[in-house]
Amino acid sequence: MSTARDIMTPDVTCVRSDESVVDAARKMAGRGVGALPVRGPGERLMGMLTDRDIVVRVIAEGRDPAMCTAGELVRGELVTVGSGDSLQRVLELMADRRIRRVPVVDGRVLVGIIAQADVARRLPDSTVGDLVAYVSRPAA
């Protein structure tokens, strides 16, 4: 059976919690991604910052993105998977938690990320369709 390591994107750019939202947005634009893992003190993985977070929680609220840090926008529980976790477990977790991206860790070290696009590139269409349907369903 395949594992998280088999479909993850290994080259992950992170943003530090004390970096501004402008810096984070520039990193996203430079990498062509819509989310970055946020690292706190001691390189601890704190959460994920998305382009949507920036738009909804900074721009729409009239906050200055140069004065707002990535760490200020991190909220909720960080969900990760192990690099050796089965793809079935990864897909169930993404569907159950309705998350589009999940960091992959080896112990406490970030080694990659799995996004819906990774699933779409490597798994059958029916599996991809099921995942997108579950992740996109309205909150209960």
Sheet containing 45-50: give its strands across: 15-16, 35-39, 45-50
Q: Which of 84, 89, 134 is nearest to 107 (CA)?
A: 84
Q: Each residue of 79-101: pLDDT tens digit? A: 999 999 998 899 889 888 988 89
How many domains, in total, are found in the chain? Answer: 1
Question: Which pTM does this prediction carry?
Answer: 0.84
Q: What are phi and psi of 97, to 5 degrees?
A: -90, -5
Do strands 45-50 and 35-39 pair parallel, antiparallel, or not at all (unpaired)?
antiparallel
Q: Is 30 left (phi over 0), alpha (psi -120 to 50) or beta?
A: alpha
* Per-residue DSSP letter, 58: I
Q: Each residue of 96-140: pLDDT tens digit? A: 898 889 999 998 899 999 998 888 777 666 565 565 555 556 665
> What is the number of other CB atoms lying within 10 angstroms of the CB of residue 140?
4
Determine contact, residues 109/99, Cβ cutoff 8 Å: no
Strand partners, 15: 38
Structural domain for 60, as ranges:
4-136
CATH number at residue 86: 3.10.580.10
